[in-house]
Amino acid sequence: MTTNTGNRGLDLNEGLIFEKAEDHCGVDFSDLDPTDSKASPSPLAKNLLRDNLDLPGLSEPETIRHYTRLSRMNYAIDMGLFPLGSCTMKHNPRLNEKLARIPGFADLHPLAPANAIQGALEIMVRLEDWLKALTGMPGISLSPKAGAHGELCGLMVIRKAHSVRGQDHRRIVLCPRSAHGTNPATAAFCGYDVVELAVNAKGRVELAELKENLNDNVAALMLTNPNTCGLFEPNMARMAQAVHEAGAYLYCDGANFNAIVGKVRLGDMGVDALHLNLHKSFSTPHGGGGPGSGPVVFSERLTPFLPYPMIRRDENNRLALVESPNCGKTEDEDHHLGRITAFQGQMGMFVRALAFIISHGSDGLRQATEDAVLNANYILSSLKDIMSPAFDGRCMHEALFDDHFLKGTNVTTLDFAKAMIDEGFHPMTVYFPLIVSGAMLIEPTESESLADLDQFTECLRSLAKAAQAGDLDRFSTAPHYAPVRRIDETRAARNVKLGYDQE
């Protein structure tokens, strides 16, 4: 049934703001002559007058209603299970938000002197101590603003270390096909040549494959562990040994740290640099471009090269930000990397992450990890008889399926994902990792209850049965109940329109 308004109950059909606009300003102003000194105390030169800005002429109530209606179309972790794989969309406790909004944290100025921000620096030091303890690594930089920025920081430190030691010829970074896509992109951005490593039928890197590609020109191995297939690399310690024997460093992508917090210390396995997504493993909100935070922890081998600023205590036990080499050292004696960003990082994320860590404690963090892995394996076990797992055996924090169970149905992974929207679920990550055909990557995190998981798996079971029964109408034009129906995503991506043309 189609309604006269286009609305579905209280789900309102909202057009673009320009489609709602009138040909006049939404606020009443008297006509002014900007060159008239009586009408304007500061006459404006004619060349400073603005042309018609063509902004929508809406009143305040109309504007508020427009954006409120749009916000109702958003899906969020507060509305339901958010199964994006490799994104760790876990619940953000309101305690974290409350603490981050305390005056003195929320309104802290980045140029405030150290003697006026001792509490903020103490927060940062305590967070550093926790992250170093959880990873078993002695050095840390809180500066990076996100995961990919953390990767760049880690590789820049590795490049600095090689340069100081006269190893500038090392221009190759090894990246397995099971790594996050940002890994090779970051290496290339940092000026390295990327060599891809294959993975075996179990979704892991073969030690022999790594050794065959190690030589005097390799600067680092970038390894995601647990990897993008949701699997742990069991040979990591031996891979680290091989990398070190070749004179290179081991960089680990810690975006999937939520699967091993409190269970595994990657520093004990020989990792030299490891970025941690506070906006994933430690619950700060993310999505839609931010906010994020990607601190990097370093081994003893790389700690002498980490970037400024660094937090240190002076002789009076006061905290200070070290912005440059210590007095008395020559420039040649100081090998630390310079600044990689303005100021000291994301203060709001530091407060949220530390609140999450302290409220859980070491035992709570370990339980969260265990629950996240348990939930993922519950989904895998519940669906493996009707959907097709990409790899045999148990997974870590995310369950990965391929499209084999859809073969012969004329239903694609995209069709399947779109049909999930009609059922009230945000789709899982699809077509990633690229090494799996029609990949469907599901990460429930520890946030979901058994009832939520059962509802989710029952939905996927019913969709799989419908696809295998030939109910193509349910899939080919899905979603049917969303505010926006199926769109040509390929065409939209290739012919981007960022403006509104009334004609």
pTM for this predicted structure: 0.89
Q: At what angle do helices 450-468 and 413-422 cross, to 10 degrees?
A: 130
What is the C-alpha separation between 475 and 334, in angstroms, rounded? 61
Least confident of 8-17, 79-88, 183-192, 304-313: 8-17
For residue 190, what pLDDT band results from cuts at 50, 70 and 90?
Answer: very high
Q: What pLDDT is attached to residue 36?
A: 60
For residue 60, is it within any domain?
Answer: yes
Answer yes or no: are the C-beta atoms of 85 and 442 closer than 8 Å.
yes
SS (H, E, C) 341-362: CCCCCCHHHHHHHHHHHHHHHH
**Residue 54: CB atoms within 10 Å:** 11
For residue 12, what pLDDT band results from cuts at 50, 70 and 90?
Answer: confident
Whether the per-residue pLDDT at 223 is higher than 60: the answer is: yes
Structure tokens at 179: 């790594």
For residue 327, what pLDDT band results from cuts at 50, 70 and 90?
Answer: very low
In percent, the amount of the chain with pLDDT more than 90 equals: 66
Four-CA torsion 188, 191, 195, 199, nearest 10 degrees: -50
Burial 261-281 (b: 16+ CB within 10 A, else e): bbebbbbebbbbbbbbbbbbb
For residue 264, is it within any domain?
Answer: no
For residue 59, is it within any domain?
Answer: yes
Whether the per-residue pLDDT at 166 is higher than 80: the answer is: yes
Peptide bond between residue 291 and the one before it cis (omega within 30 degrees of 0): yes
Query: What type of residue is 183?
Result: N
Q: How many domains does the chain have?
A: 2
Mean pLDDT of 228-250: 96
For residue 431, is it within any domain?
Answer: yes
Whether the per-residue pLDDT at 471 is higher than 90: the answer is: yes
Domain extent, residue 27, equals: 1-73
Mean pLDDT of 159-163: 96
What one-character-per-residue DSSP string does 8-66 give?
BTTB-----TTTS-BSS-SS------TT-TTT-SSPPPGGG--------B--HHHHHHH
Any idea what the CATH number is for the domain that residue 437 is in? 3.90.1150.10
Residue 456: its H or E element: helix 450-468
Mean pLDDT of 170-187: 95
Mean pLDDT of 190-201: 96
For residue 8, is it within any domain?
Answer: yes
Answer yes or no: are the C-beta atoms of 126 and 132 closer than 8 Å.
no
Q: What pLDDT is attached to residue 342?
A: 85
Answer yes or no: are the C-beta atoms of 377 and 347 closer than 8 Å.
no
Query: What type of residue is 32?
Result: L
Whether the per-residue pLDDT at 473 is higher than 80: the answer is: yes
For residue 328, what pLDDT band results from cuts at 50, 70 and 90?
Answer: very low
Answer yes or no: are the C-beta atoms of 248 and 271 closer than 8 Å.
no
For residue 266, is it within any domain?
Answer: no
- Residue 92: closest CA among 280, 223, 256, 239: 280
Q: Which of these three, 24, 57, 73, is where a domain ends?
A: 73
Q: Which of these three, 27, 46, 73, is where a domain ends?
A: 73
For residue 351, is it within any domain?
Answer: no
Least confident of 234-243, 284-293, 335-344: 284-293
For residue 410, is it within any domain?
Answer: yes
Q: What is the pLDDT of residues 20-70, one digit of tens each?
A: 776 666 666 566 665 565 555 555 556 666 666 667 778 888 889 999 988
- Mean pLDDT score across all residues of the chain: 89
Q: Which of these three, 44, 73, 102, is where a domain ends?
A: 73
